[in-house]
Amino acid sequence: MERPLIIALDLDDATKRKSLLDQFNGESLYVKVGMELFYREGRQVIHELKESGHHIFLDLKLHDIPNTVQRTMKELASLEVDIVNVHAAGGKKMMSAAREGLEQGTHAGSKRPTLIAVTQLTSTDEETMQSELLIQQPLNEVVRTYASFAKESGVDGVVCSAKEVPLIHDACGSNFYTVCPGIRRVEDAVGDQKRIVTPKQARELGSWGIVVGRSITSAKDPYSVYHQMKKDWEAKI
């Protein structure tokens, strides 16, 4: 799918999730299954969403020793989702192991899930990164370097703020996937996000995909907010 708006299904029970998706009346969506949903409903929810025709980004952000990540990715590959991810902070060996595990677990004739790596969470700003994570380089430099390491390790793209897309394209080429959370309309509550942009700005900055959670899931009318944001995201520049 070209340039998706991915809805983060961060809802605290299955009834709310179902009632959100029911509003879309059979429309095929790109959805993100994060830790909250996967740890609650497990593999079954992936099967259900696939049966309903949705594309799936399984956002479990693996970060462990290479052997564990490889074996876990082998397991996840059997779910046949579209995108899976790791934290780039796990290092090059871990990212290569993730790719290897995915290849081992992908059945002949099936498409390997796209593998992306989180550079720096969009809830982190430079001040926090330096004072709490003790990473002293400028945030843009860290994101650019982690993206380059991801590419060298056989990863297909990154999770980043749209603000960093131009520098990632510069370092890794414009075909390297950039999946961007931290998306807000001007009227939305920012919450815990730090590096935010609007859907239109994300488009202008060249993001491949955007991830939107609370702006849609907490809206009075999620269906119309989704379509409004999608229209802004897809508008010609």
Positions touching ligand LLZGTKA7 (CB under 6 A) are: 8, 10, 34, 118, 121-122, 159, 181-182, 193, 211-215
- DSSP class of residue 17 equals H
214 marked as binding residue: yes
Residue 124 neighbours by CB under 8 Å, 6+ apart: 133, 139, 194, 195
- In 51-160, at which residue ranges do the beta strands (DSSP E only) sit? 55-62, 83-87, 114-118, 157-159
Cβ(86)–Cβ(62) below 8 Å: yes
Least CB distance to ligand LLZGTKA7 at residue 89 (A)? 12
Residue 10 assigned as binding residue: yes
- Residue 156 is assigned to a ligand binding site: no
Closest distance to ligand LLZGTKA7 from the beta carbon of 235 (Å): 20
Amino acid in the structure at residue 231: K
Q: Are 196 and 164 in contact (CB under 8 A)?
A: no
- Of the candidates 121, 119, 173, the one whose C-alpha atom is nearest the C-alpha of residue 150 is 119
N-term to C-term CA, the chain:
20
**64 noted as active-site residue:** yes
125 is catalytic: no
Catalytic residue among 13, 22, 59, 194: 59
Least separation, in Å, of the C-beta of 174 and ligand LLZGTKA7?
A: 21
Nearest residue (CB) to ligand LLZGTKA7, 37 versus 97: 37
Annotated binding-site residues read 10, 32, 59-68, 122, 184, 193, 213-214
Residues annotated as catalytic are 59, 61, 64
Annotated binding-site residues for substrate read 10, 32, 59-68, 122, 184, 193, 213-214
